[in-house]
Amino acid sequence: MKPLSILLILPAVILLAACGKENLSSGRELLGSWVDINHTADTLVFYKKDGMVVLLDNSLTYRTIRHNSTSFDLLTNQYEVRLGDGTLLTRPLNMRETGLENFSRGKFDWLDGKYSFKVEPNGFRPYLSCMGCPQVFRKID
């Protein structure tokens, strides 16, 4: 009787452990360069580094803020990336803290079969207060 109870309890424990965790991916689907369809000077470059996907924000917004503020950290335009269900999670690459609570979150939706996406910019530009103003990026390589 004991082996049967173990066989019944084990799947229940596995299911309970899985509940409550976010369904995250590494963001590999984003690797490459993406251009803002309304501001073609703004690009996002996603690349692999040390086993993670990194976002390089090469936007006019970032370059303008960087130019006007000498105290703005040069690495603030580089972020570790994760994708959740409808969410882009980013954390500055130079941040020492770990854990999902240290990631910024922006609403994220794939468009055109993963050839473009819509994202709230405050997810990767925490210095902006822009809720409800998504940007659309299309893949260029």
Q: What pLDDT sits at residue 94? A: 78
16 found inside a domain: no
pTM for the whole structure: 0.72
30 found inside a domain: yes
CA 119-51-25 angle, to 5 degrees, is: 40
13 found inside a domain: no
14 found inside a domain: no
Percentage with pLDDT > 70 across the chain: 67
47 found inside a domain: yes
SS3 81: strand
For residue 119, give its domain range. Answer: 24-139
9 found inside a domain: no
- Which ranges constitute the DSSP H helices of 33-129? 60-68
64 found inside a domain: yes
CA atoms within 13 A on the CB side of 71: 0
Distance from C-alpha of 131 to C-alpha of 122, rounded to nearest angstrom:
7
- Element at 27 (helix H, strand E): none
Q: How far is CA 65 from CA 73, 78, 127, in A?
A: 10, 14, 9
Domain containing residue 49: CATH number: 2.40.128
CA 82: distance to chain centroid? 4
- Lowest average pLDDT, out of 5-9, 20-24, 60-64, 135-139, goes to 5-9
Distance from C-alpha of 106 to C-alpha of 124, rounded to nearest angstrom:
7
Q: How far is CA 91 from CA 95, 112, 134, in A?
A: 7, 27, 19
Structurally, the chain folds into a number of domains equal to 1
Q: What pLDDT sits at residue 49? A: 93
pLDDT: which is higher, 49 or 1? 49
84 found inside a domain: yes
pLDDT tens digit sequence for 73-119:
554 678 899 999 899 998 888 777 777 777 888 899 999 989 999 99
- Lowest average pLDDT, out of 15-19, 40-44, 92-96, goes to 15-19
Q: What pLDDT sits at residue 15? A: 40
